[in-house]
């Protein structure tokens, strides 16, 4: 499941780690702060895409587990009639970043009937606040819009920690589920090494954030 997207996932992590390293070099630099925030949400959007892609694979393998509407949103499509009213045409469906990430996580975790998305914790709030900061520096109207103060930077660091922990937790939980329920000898042979690699990557990212 993961091998076809492994290079993309590694590149997302590499960009994030590079942005953290640059931030460590000069935490006071406005440019470094902006680059770090942009890297967070480039990573968030990449992870969202991966989770939705994998969820579509689950949908193909498990008919009936996802509704027609969920599948359309996983594909980021909506449908309408053409101007003659005789043909159905699809068009891209924009989903706001925070909603899209939450939907991607919930869709991916359908294998676990007990999973609940933690929308009441500080991590989710930090993610949404950091997203507003990203939007502000991406579409500035004045010089002050480009500045990220210390409190905002701390919020973005908290958001990044939550994003990475949430994403890795999903992958680790799925791989443990797959290992437990798969009859494939290949999967059972390779899975422990893949799990250890994911856990090492998560530990490295946590350590990088904590030293920011």
Is the pLDDT reported for residue 1 higher than 60? no
Confidence of residue 195 (pLDDT cuts 50, 70, 90): low
pTM metric for this prediction: 0.83
DSSP string covering 56-110: HHHHHHSTTSS-HHHHHHHTTEEEEE-TTSS-EEEEE----HHHHHHHHHHHHGG
Rounded CA-CA distance 29/19 in Å is: 12
93/26: higher pLDDT: 26
Residues 6+ apart with CB under 8 A from 71: 56, 59
Over the stretch 101-113, which tens digit does the pLDDT of each residue have? 999 999 999 989 8
Mean pLDDT (whole number) for 130-141 = 97
Q: Which residues contact 197 (CB under 8 A, 6 or more apart)?
A: none
Domain-wise residue ranges, the chain = 3-63+95-210
Cα 131 from Cα 129, distance rounded (Å): 5
């Amino acid at each position: 499941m993961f091998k076809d997207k492994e290079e993309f996932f590694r590149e997302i992590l590499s960009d994030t780690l590079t942005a953290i390293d640059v931030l460590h070099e000069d935490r006071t630099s406005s440019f470094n702060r902006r680059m770090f925030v942009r890297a967070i949400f480039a990573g968030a959007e990449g992870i969202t895409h991966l989770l939705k892609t994998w969820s579509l694979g689950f949908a193909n393998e498990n008919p009936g587990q996802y509704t027609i509407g969920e599948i359309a949103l996983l594909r980021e499509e909506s449908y309408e009639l053409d101007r003659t009213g005789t043909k159905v045409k699809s068009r891209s469906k924009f989903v706001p970043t925070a909603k899209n990430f939450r939907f991607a996580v919930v869709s991916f975790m359908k294998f676990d009937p007990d999973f609940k998305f933690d929308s009441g914790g500080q991590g989710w709030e930090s993610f949404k606040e950091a997203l507003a900061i990203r939007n502000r520096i991406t579409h500035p109207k004045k010089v002050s819009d480009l500045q990220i103060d210390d409190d905002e930077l701390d919020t973005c660091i908290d958001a990044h920690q939550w994003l990475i922990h949430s994403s890795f937790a999903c992958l680790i939980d799925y791989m443990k589920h797959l290992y437990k329920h798969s009859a494939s000898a290949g999967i059972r042979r390779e899975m422990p090494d893949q799990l250890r690699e994911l856990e090492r990557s998560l530990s490295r990212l946590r350590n990088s954030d904590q030293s920011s």
